[in-house]
Amino acid sequence: DQQVKQNSPSLSVQEGRISILNCDYTNSMFDYFLWYKKYPAEGPTFLISISSIKDKNEDGRFTVFLNKSAKHLSLHIVPSQPGDSAVYFCAASAKNDYKLSFGAGTTVTVRA
Amino acid sequence: EPEVTQTPSHQVTQMGQEVILRCVPISNHLYFYWYRQILGQKVEFLVSFYNNEISEKSEIFDDQFSVERPDGSNFTLKIRSTKLEDSAMYFCASRRDRARNTEAFFGQGTRLTVV
């Protein structure tokens, strides 16, 4: 089951620069997308979400972009901070389906 | 801030033994989930639970798995006869309601090691 794919297992970025995390999905029934952040020894923490009726959602330093035609979404973190170093999971759910399908995660390392 | 708590944080068990993983969801939440993450792999859905019954389960959630909400606060995952491949991080999650924009809160996880 590879309905949600995060093809980059890791990303290293300089503090203050932009981090761009990518996510692709195959299930055309997905209409709600979320990003979760996970620190070691902790559970995933909700970060930001977007409904398929939108193409952008912004919350502080975090912006999620959705390109439905390409079945692609991305998370932008600007500016990146050392505390952003974590694993980021892309997740999706379909209408009338309340479970989340997760990607494999991208480990972000923000260098000082 | 309310949180989902899971116990134990780490459980080591012998193959073939039964284990019970415990979760205390956030008190006013109505929907409960178990997910697992095998080391190096993605987080996988196991089961969702609402109104004292399973609402959905994945193909992973076979007859050796069961869930229960025995006392209105705890939400448990039982694995009857553990196998080596059950070794994973198990996450409990809860949601206040089923509205699409209601986030799921995850516990810190239980690391299950089957030897």
pLDDT band at A2 (very low <50, low <70, confident <90, very high): confident
Q: Establish how many alpha carbons lie within 13 A of residue A12's alpha carbon, considering only the half-sphere containing its beta carbon.
A: 2
pLDDT at A6 over 70: yes
Q: What is the pLDDT of residue A1?
A: 58
Q: Across chain A, what does the average pLDDT equal?
A: 94
A49 and B CB contact within 8 Å: yes
Min Cα–Cα distance to chain A from B46, Å: 9
Per DSSP, B103 falls in state: P
Q: What is the pLDDT of residue A84?
A: 97
Q: Which of B9, B42, B95 sits opposite A104 (nearest CB)?
A: B42
Query: Mean of the pLDDT values across residues B47-60?
Result: 93
Q: d(Cα B103, Cα A68) in Å, to the nearest integer? A: 22
> Mind giving me the DSSP string for A33-99?
EEEEEE-TTS--EEEEEEETT-SEEEETTEEEEEETTTTEEEEEESS--GGG-EEEEEEEEETT--S
Q: What is the pLDDT of residue A95?
A: 82
CB B115 within 8 A of CB B86: no
Chain B residue numbers touching A102 (CB-CB < 8 A): 35, 42-45
Q: What is the pLDDT of residue B90?
A: 97
Most confident range, picked from A36-45, B68-77, B81-90: B81-90
* CB-based contact B104 A102, cutoff 8 Å: no
Among A12-16, A55-59, B47-51, B109-113, the least confident range: B47-51
pLDDT at B70 over 70: yes
Min Cα–Cα distance to chain B from A64, Å: 15
* CB-based contact A98 B109, cutoff 8 Å: no
pLDDT at B40 over 90: no
> pLDDT tens-digit profile of A67-91?
999 999 999 999 999 999 999 999 9
